[in-house]
Chain A
Amino acid sequence: MLELVLLLLVVVLAVKAPGFFTADNLLNVLRNVSIQGVIALGMTLVIVAGEIDLSVGSAVAFAGCLLAWLVQAMAHHLPPPLAVAAGSVLVLLAGALIGAMSGWLRTRFRVPTFIVTLAWFTVLRGAAQLITNGFPITPFPEWFSFLGSGYIPLPQWFNPAHWADSLSLPAWLGGWIHSFFGEQFPGIPFPAVLFLATFGVVQFLMNSTPFGRAVYAVGGNAEAARLSGIRVSRIKIIVMATVAALSAFAGILQASQIQSGSASTAVGWELDVISAVIIGGASLSGGAGRVWGTLVGLVFLGVLVNGMTLLNTNEYWQSVVRGALILAAVTIHFAPRESQRT
């Protein structure tokens, strides 16, 4: 269903928006959603399990600042590649630990994750500001930017625009190939590769492991899951740790993209990420939602923003349209279920 709407949007933009339907631009869309996308994959787990994480934006900022600070601190003792690697591992561990703590507070003291992660939302943003003292830290070597904004170059012969002419194609098709691929094929954005790899892992986890099946059961009916011998607390702690670790991962990518640890980055990301998951068909009450749906929801939002930018839509209008579309998507999504119930 959402796939069809996305297709329709792509067709409309391909006709209306100049420069939309090119390989370069479409890869750009994918690149733009990649960092948030990594978090959205984790958020899918959390929402299917019937929980929520509001702290992911702050966690991105915190992770980036922590990494920058660690790299700066280790710069005198370790060669830069080692400092970045060690810092990244520590940041990922810190993320997982924070998430596990949320899950523990949820299961041990029954504090709703809405509240726990609201606290983290403030705490982590403040911690990021404490680390940086309000100014971005920039200790990263230049090559580090590859993670968040690099491209995997493709050989020129790979570009159909270079050999399409030798195939004696009809003129319109040849012209189209030239306009779609362009003369300079940019290559594959590296963050998109990381995102798609994460997608593969999470997709496998949710659809092909006992853990994934348990997540659906816990979110659908925690008591029935408990009485079936599923360790509900353990599942909840793991999903909260996963989304927080993926947020830390996204924080590393974001730090790489902006080449600094900044406390003011990724503001409002939690809502972007949750929107993508909900548009992708997951239910906030838990038990329903697909990883594939989240991917489609992300791309849908990415295409929408990209299209409106290409059409020179006023930035303020972009916000209004986005919000209205989220509401429309969710209303349409829920309408049939609600009518079934009555």
Chain B
Amino acid sequence: MNPPRLQTLALRKEYPGTVALDDVSVSWAGGQVHALLGKNGAGKSTLVKIFAGSVQPTSGQLLVDGREVRLRSPLEALRAGIATVYQELSLIPSLTVAENILLGRLPQARRLGLRRIDWPAAIREAQRLLDEMDAAVDARRQVRDLSVAQQQVVEIAKAFSSRPSVLMLDEPTSALSKHETANLFRLVRQLARQGVAVLYITHRLQELADIADTVTVLRDGKRVGSLPMREADAPTIVQMMFGHVTPRHRPPDLVPGPEPLLEVRGLSRKGKFQDVSFTVRRGEILGIAGMLGSGRTELLRAIFGAEPPDSGEVVVEGRSIRPHDPPSMRALGLALTPENRKEEGLVLSLGTRPNLFLASLDRMARWGVSSNARERHRAQELVAQLAIQTADVDFPVASLSGGNQQKVVIGKWLNTEPRVVLFDEPTRGVDLVAKQQIFEVMWDLTRRGLGCVFVSSELEELVEVCHRILILKDGRIAGEVQPEAITPNDLAVRCMTA
């Protein structure tokens, strides 16, 4: 057994009110690929941030090659021997591959008394690194001309060029095709053979057998355990990730009617999702289960017309409109609460009241005149209906908690009297009470005959809330399940494996 290259001892991270990491001790050997798994909020990203130097632990030790290190910044992490490749690429598109790889330490030469960059040497050095990795990329090309997969390789080369002890890869395959993924795996194995400890963060269980030597699972900030990959099958890993979940169910009085409200027919968008068809009936909550990168957000955005689909049709109560854009879909009775509420749902520079009426400005006006008094009155009604906690409806929406901001986004759409509401991750970053209140709102809507589409990566939420669940995988509907007939863990297995 190789000696551990990265080790943590009783690592603990507290945030006000919560413990993100609870005495995590783990060690990873060189020459191997180690998968790190955990569902949202398990502490996975906190641990990654500590390794990358962007977050400092509250207590505990971190050892690289047996030496204790303190990482106060990403630069210190890199110097200590931990290189990280993030999911979002950090390359500069207008520069060449060589410049990107050697950024900040381009070789220099003195000529005619002036220090200048030695371009031939830079290109040689970068190319040697790429060849060493068996990557067929020309170091002289501009990064913007490369495919995403090639950019990924350059990113890894850049990380690897510092000769790290530990290479951390955060969801590296989320944007890659099957073939590109296979190439990436070959490259990662190659790097591991050189003695590096590769830390591989993913949620795609089906990849693990192909790439990982060991798997470590976190849950609720604790290390649940580590296994050699050959002893870990999908149900075991899911069991470790989710623990025992007691499924809860929606109130019994919610029965969907027979008539279809929303019909999605053959919707496709190149590279995102293909040939998606489904129907939402009156009073029905349809869940869509899919992992990050499954196309779930793109699908909802396309239905709503935020990014129109390449082909296919959206019909609401037998009607469809052209053009397929948000104002038209709003007029049809569709509503979308987006995944990123701060970027796409709210205008943070404004108060709660104007945010509540963003989608219903004309509806709130009489003879084309808006009235502050009328708006305040209606805003107070919405605030009470949704239990939004704010001292005054004119306080800045930016000062509200995540759950209350989400309720403002929902309130914005309720005021348009929609027929079908598309919820994209409505419970992300929301506390438990607000989560339950959001479910209550959805159930209430269906009692009034509306339809809901609910996308969530918290699968137990889908099982609790929905009437039916579609499984979306790699942009295609891979199946339909009844929440009564499946446990969240089985659903997770179906979402994460081929």
Please encode chain A, from 204 to 220, with 1 for each CB lying within 8 Å of some chain B CB and 0 for all others.
Answer: 00001110111011001
CB distance from B241 to the nearest CB of A (A): 33
Q: Which residues of B contact A227 (CB under 8 A)?
A: 304, 306, 326, 336, 338, 344-345
B354 touches A217 (CB 8 A): yes
Scan B405-419; emit 1 where CB is below 8 A from any A CB, else 0.
Answer: 000000010001000
- Decide if B68 is an interface residue (CB 8 Å cutoff): no
**B contacts with A, residue count (CB < 8 A):** 31
* A220 and B362 contact, Cβ closer than 8 Å, known pairs A229-B326, A231-B327: no
Per-position binary interface string of chain A over residues 58-74, scored 1 when its CB falls under 8 Å from any chain B CB and 0 otherwise: 00000000000000000
A228 contacts partner chain B, Cβ-Cβ < 8 Å: yes
Give the complex CA separation of A228 and B408 in angstroms: 13
Q: Is A39 an interface residue (CB 8 A)?
A: no
Write the chain B residue with the least CB distance to A285. B349
Residue A266 CB within 8 A of the other chain: no
B365, A221: Cβ atoms closer than 8 Å: no
Q: Does B389 contact A (CB under 8 A)?
A: no
Q: Give residues of chain B (263-304) contacting chain A, Cβ–Cβ below 8 Å.
A: 304
Whole-angstrom distance between the alpha carbons of A217 and B446 in the complex?
A: 30
Overall SS of chain A's interface: helix
A183 in contact (CB, < 8 A): no
Looking at B51-59, B193-201, B367-375, the stretch in contact with chain A turns out to be B367-375
Q: A208-B371, A213-B354 are known contacts. Are A226 and B347 too (CB-CB below 8 A)?
A: no
Pair A216/B326 contact, Cβ less than 8 Å: no
- A256 and B211 CA atoms in complex are apart in Å by 80
Does A97 reach chain B (CB closer than 8 Å)? no
What range describes how many residues of A lie at the interface?
20 to 34
CA distance A217 to B304 in the complex (A): 20
B-chain residues with CB within 8 Å of residue A231 when the two chains form the complex: 327
The yes or no answer to A101 lying at the interface (CB within 8 A) is no
For residue A308, CB closer than 8 A to chain B, the reply is no
- B386 / chain A contacts, CB cutoff of 8 Å: none
Chain A contacts for B338, CB-based, 8 A: 227
B306 touches A209 (CB 8 A): no
B358 touches A224 (CB 8 A): yes
Complex Cα–Cα for A214 and B348 (A) = 14
User: What is the bound-complex CA distance between A287 and B350, given in angstroms?
Assistant: 8
What chain B residues lie within 8 Å of A216 (beta carbons)?
347, 350, 354
Distance, CA A220 to CA B361, complexed state (A): 16
| A216, A220, A228, most chain B CB atoms within 10 A | A228
Q: Give chain B residues whose Cβ lies under 8 Å from the Cβ of A221.
A: 343, 346-349
Cβ contacts under 8 Å, B347 to chain A: 216-217, 220-221, 224-225, 287
A137 CB to nearest chain B CB (Å): 41
Does the CB pair B326–A210 fall under 8 Å? no
Tell me whether B354 and A223 are in contact (CB under 8 A): no
- Closest residue of chain B to A226, judged by CB? B326
* CA gap between A217 and B370 in the complex, in Å: 15
* Chain A 228-260 interface 0/1 with B at a Cβ cutoff of 8 Å (1 = within): 111100000000000000000000000000000
A224 near B357 (CB under 8 angstroms)?
no
Rounded to whole angstroms, the CA-CA distance of A217 and B359 in the bound complex is 10
B473 at the interface (CB under 8 A from A): no
B467 within 8 Å of A (CB atoms): no
B-side contacts of A209, CB under 8 Å: 365, 368-370
* Interface residue B364 (Cβ < 8 Å from any Cβ of A): yes
- Bound Cα distance A5, B412 (Å): 39
Q: Are B326's CB and A228's CB within 8 A? A: yes
| Pair A210/B368 contact, Cβ less than 8 Å | yes
**Which chain A residue shows the least CB distance to B327?**
A229
Which chain A residues border B357 with CB–CB below 8 Å?
A: 213
Please tell me if the beta carbons of B358 and A225 are within 8 angstroms of each other in the complex.
Answer: yes
Residue B34 at the A interface, CB < 8 A? no
Interface string of A134-161 (1 = CB under 8 A from B): 0000000000000000000000000000
A116 sits at the interface (CB 8 A): no
For residue B12, CB closer than 8 A to chain A, the reply is no
Specify the chain A residue showing the minimal Cβ separation from B358: A228
Q: Check A298 for interface membership: any CB of B closer than 8 A.
A: no
B385 CB to closest chain A CB (Å) equals 19
Q: Inside 8 A of A224's CB, which chain B residues have their CB?
A: 343-347, 358
- Minimum CB–CB distance for A200 against chain B, Å: 14
Does B330 lie at the interface of the complex (its beta carbon under 8 Å from any beta carbon of A)? Answer: yes
Near B by CB (< 8 A), chain A positions 69-110 give: none
Chain B nearest Cβ from A293, distance in angstroms: 15
Residues of chain A with a CB closer than 8 A to B329's CB: 229
List the 10 shortest-distance A-B pairs measured between CB atoms, nearest first.
Answer: A210-B361, A220-B347, A229-B330, A287-B349, A228-B358, A228-B359, A220-B349, A221-B347, A229-B327, A229-B326
Q: A227-B345, A229-B330 are in contact. List 8 more A-B contacts (CB 8 A).
A: A208-B370, A210-B365, A214-B361, A220-B349, A223-B344, A224-B343, A228-B326, A230-B358
Chain B residues in the interface with A (C-beta under 8 A): 304, 306, 326-327, 329-331, 336, 338, 343-350, 354, 357-359, 361-362, 364-365, 368-371, 412, 416
Can you list 25 contacts pairing A with B, beta carbon distance less than 8 Å? Answer: A208-B369, A209-B369, A210-B365, A210-B368, A210-B370, A213-B361, A216-B350, A217-B347, A220-B348, A221-B346, A223-B343, A224-B343, A226-B306, A227-B304, A227-B326, A228-B359, A229-B327, A230-B327, A230-B358, A230-B359, A230-B361, A231-B327, A283-B349, A287-B350, A288-B349
Q: Chain A interface (Cβ within 8 Å of chain B)?
A: 208-210, 212-214, 216-217, 220-221, 223-231, 283, 287-288
